[in-house]
Amino acid sequence: MGQGRGWEGAVLKLLRAKDFELTVTDAEDVTPDYRRLRFTDGGLLAATGVHPTMWVRLWFDNAGKPHQRAYTLVDPDPDTGAFSLEFALHEGRASDWARAAKPGDTIEATVQGTGFEHPSPPPSHVFAVGDPASLPAINSLLDALGPAPATVWFEGGDDDLPHRTDPARHELRKVPRQDSGARLVDRVKKDLPGLLRGTSDPYVWIACDTATTRSLAAYVRKELGLPKQRVHALGYWRPS
């Protein structure tokens, strides 16, 4: 594996990335625009271990050129060597592959760069900002941070998406995607300062499109003054 992937593949090889072949075992259309695929992992979980928000790079063929996208593991089970991946479907090679995927299909995956550090001290309240592309990671994050209450701003998506928020301790604030994410930025800037004033040990987690993530991360760190160890921000996608 790893041949013919251009400069991205070469860099990952130098970083000692690990390659695996995944095999589709099941496919489920959660909504018309959101598809869940179950895989056997080709030895991945046994070789790498599991951590919250863990992700892998999948490699797709795009007119003869390598094309990679990252996806968060859903319900990884090291005992059976299986996990699911969830795809927010739109235009593009990755979505085209996911729409057509059926049991028995295979795809190459690379593990490199993924990680998770539990915030210390543990958060007294989690503030998460995301969208359908980062929903699996949000679900994993809420599972990992246990009993902490959370406020989640979620941009776009269908009401039937598989949110794992618990109404007893999680508040889900849905925001339509408008003006390339500007409405989400405005909503978070309106809501967050007041919520932070009553929180002793906040933890802010942001995973939207790259520009939105960058804007909100700068706001939280520079204008609200949260230390970098209490903020995690990662751009999950770029508008085409």
pLDDT digits (tens, 9 = 90+) for 12-30: 453 457 999 999 999 999 9
Query: Which residue range(s) make up the domain with 191?
Result: 125-233
Q: Judge if 23 and 83 occupy the same domain.
A: yes
Residue 132 sits in a domain whose CATH number is 3.40.50.80
pLDDT digits (tens, 9 = 90+) for 154-170: 999 888 999 999 999 99
Beta bridge mates, 231: 204
Q: Of 86, 111, 136, which residue constitutes the final position of a domain?
A: 111
Q: Is residue 195 part of a domain?
A: yes
pLDDT digits (tens, 9 = 90+) for 66-91: 889 999 999 999 999 999 999 999 88
Residue 7 has pLDDT above 70, yes or no: no
Q: SS3 string of 2-37?
A: CCCCHHHHHHHHHCCCEEEEEEEEEEEEEECCEEEE
Percent with pLDDT over 90 in the chain: 81
pLDDT digits (tens, 9 = 90+) for 88-141: 998 889 999 999 999 999 999 999 888 999 999 999 999 999 999 999 999 999
* Position 9 confidence tier, pLDDT thresholds 50, 70, 90: low
Q: Is residue 119 part of a domain?
A: no
In a 13 Å sphere around the CA of 151, the CA atoms on its Cβ side amount to 17
Q: What is the CA radius of gyration of the chain?
A: 18
* Position 4 confidence tier, pLDDT thresholds 50, 70, 90: low
Q: Of 79, 111, 143, which residue constitutes the final position of a domain?
A: 111
Q: How many structural domains are present in the chain?
A: 2
